[in-house]
Amino acid sequence: MNFRLESDSIGSKQVPMEAYYGVQTLRCAENFKITGLGMLKEFIKSLAEIKKAAAITNNEVGLLDKKIEEAIIVACDEIIEGKLQDQFIVDPIQGGAGTSMNMNSNEVIANRAIEILGGQKGDYSIVHPNDHINYGQSTNDVIPTAGKMTALKLIPKAIAELSKLYDAFNEKSKEFDDVIKMGRTQMQDAIPIRLGQEFKAYSSVIRRDILRLEKAKEELKVVNMGGTAIGTGMNADIQYFNKIVPNISKISNIELKQAIDLIDATQNLDGFVIVSSVIKACAVNLSKIANDLRLMSSGPRTGFGEINLPSKQNGSSMMPGKVNPVIPEVISQVAFNIIGNDITITMAAEAGQLELNAFEPVIFYNLFQSIETLTNGVNTFVVNCVSGITANRERCKELVENSVGIITAICPHIGYKKAAEIAKIALNSKQSVRELILKDGILSENELNDILDIELMTKPGILAKELMVV
């Protein structure tokens, strides 16, 4: 392999001749072998969009030669299209508040622009990573802006999958609307509910999660570009300062707003904490639903057995015929991971000191992972689980009829004390509530049938006055 010699403030170092990255990127790659992963492609694209906007803005205000601007634009467009991805070699978790990420993009863009202008990679007298690509910028405004842009690109995908889940639960709520089953509180028999009502409640909470995510996007649209190192805007031309955010918005098709207080926006990362908490809340809701589906499908013969989940794979290497609820299980694991990520994001945001928070890399690593795993988890939840759920209608009916819980529907008609006596006898004798009431002539069969009507038991209604106990 042939090498070229590059130098920085640390000293000189050999860089592979064909590499578009340079000496600073190479040092970073050697220093931070943490996850073994690369930067997210959407994040690389966001960096290129920022650098393209900066070049255009610097040319507009007379601070960058037109030929250099054009070469930078071509290089950035290539990266935006997905080229040169293998040249972004720094680990997503790194020291230096993201300087490694920023310099990786500066060097790759500079060397590609040098090539476009007919020079040799590494000849920074033609296009310089700092003096041209990074002109008017700092890692401290580029990286948080790129992080917010990336999250804004990922969240709509999550919302799209959640919308499909919302629709799937709604469809199931209609399909199961006539299925009466036993409701449970604290894992004990409570009062009847329609299976469709349970699934409608699932759609309602997912809808709430979607609305929260839509609102959370507004937190990410406020950026500190133009603030440079600590928010004071040092080394940023006033015209550049006023134009950079509108130009980034135009290039990225993302509606961004420059923060009113750039020092605050550079110091504080509470916006990421809010977005992470919204994602966490969604994950908690999904895991709760997954828990419910596992319980309702438990058995199939010795558990609740009220619903059937689609069989997706063998459940045991030892027990023939066993099928496990693998999709709800993976949803809970996604949720556990997101909750852990949220703790990391919270602590990293808290750890900022004075004018800067140096821990943005780990925030982005965890936030992007949370959004992506949420998106992928919801996709498999819809496709491989929810859409294929079926109800065991007879089993649901059997559990209701044999439950003491229906006494609650009868309570307003015979009084709490009498109802409690019947419930106690039913539990001890294994007789049904219906049998005991009819046997003792407490209510007629017609009266009892009216009271235990599916509609009356699962929604508010007007009790027949002649049956009410005053």
Q: Is 311 a catalytic residue?
A: no
Please indicate, yes or no, whether residues 386 and 453 belong to a single structural domain of this protein: no
Residue 453 banded pLDDT, cuts 50, 70, 90: confident
Burial of 31 (0-12, 13-18, 19+ CB in 10 A): middle
For residues 218-236, give the mean pLDDT: 97
For residues 63-69, give the mean pLDDT: 98
The CATH number for 166's domain is: 1.20.200.10
For residues 310-338, give the mean pLDDT: 85
Question: What pLDDT, on the 0 to 100 scale, is given for residue 443?
Answer: 87
- Domain of 128? 3-135
Question: What pLDDT, on the 0 to 100 scale, is given for residue 437?
Answer: 86
The verdict on residue 25 lying in a domain is yes
Question: What pLDDT, on the 0 to 100 scale, is given for residue 300?
Answer: 82
- Is residue 120 scored above 50 in pLDDT? yes
Instruction: For tokens 């894992």, name the residue.
Output: 187
Q: What is the pLDDT of residues 382-399, one digit of tens each?
A: 999 999 999 999 999 989
For residues 437-460, give the mean pLDDT: 80
In angstroms, the CA 121 to CA 17 distance is: 7
Question: What pLDDT, on the 0 to 100 scale, is given for residue 466?
Answer: 46
For residues 267-282, give the mean pLDDT: 98
State what percent of residues in the chain have pLDDT above 90: 79
Please indicate, yes or no, whether residues 166 and 307 belong to a single structural domain of this protein: yes
Please indicate, yes or no, whether residues 367 and 325 belong to a single structural domain of this protein: yes
Residue 88 banded pLDDT, cuts 50, 70, 90: very high
Question: What pLDDT, on the 0 to 100 scale, is given for residue 147?
Answer: 98
For residues 440-449, give the mean pLDDT: 84
Residue 6 backbone dihedrals phi, psi, to 5 degrees = -120, 155
Residue 470 banded pLDDT, cuts 50, 70, 90: very low
Q: What is the mean pLDDT of the chain?
A: 93
- Is residue 324 scored above 60 in pLDDT? yes
Question: What pLDDT, on the 0 to 100 scale, is given for residue 467?
Answer: 45
Q: What is the DSSP string of 155-209?
A: HHHHHHHHHHHHHHHHHHHHHTTT-EEEEEETTEEEEEEEHHHHHHHHHHHHHHH
Please indicate, yes or no, whether residues 303 and 414 belong to a single structural domain of this protein: no
| Greater model confidence, 458 or 310 | 310
Total domains in the chain come to 3
Please indicate, yes or no, whether residues 162 and 234 belong to a single structural domain of this protein: yes
Please indicate, yes or no, whether residues 170 and 147 belong to a single structural domain of this protein: yes
Please indicate, yes or no, whether residues 174 and 203 belong to a single structural domain of this protein: yes
Question: What pLDDT, on the 0 to 100 scale, is given for residue 316?
Answer: 64
State what percent of residues in the chain have pLDDT above 70: 96
- Is residue 469 scored above 70 in pLDDT? no
For residues 153-176, give the mean pLDDT: 98
Question: What pLDDT, on the 0 to 100 scale, is given for residue 257?
Answer: 98
The CATH number for 433's domain is: 1.10.40.30
The verdict on residue 264 lying in a domain is yes
Residue 391 backbone dihedrals phi, psi, to 5 degrees = -105, 140
The verdict on residue 32 lying in a domain is yes
Task: State the greatest distance between any 2 C-alpha atoms of the chain, in Å, as a whole number.
Answer: 102
Considering only 7-11, 46-50, 274-278, which range has the smallest mean pLDDT? 7-11
Please indicate, yes or no, whether residues 284 and 316 belong to a single structural domain of this protein: yes
Cα 464 off chain centre by: 49
311, 316, 429, 444: which is the annotated catalytic residue?
316
Question: What pLDDT, on the 0 to 100 scale, is given for residue 317?
Answer: 59
Question: What pLDDT, on the 0 to 100 scale, is given for residue 21?
Answer: 98
Please indicate, yes or no, whether residues 165 and 130 belong to a single structural domain of this protein: no
Question: What pLDDT, on the 0 to 100 scale, is given for residue 454?
Answer: 64
The verdict on residue 397 lying in a domain is no
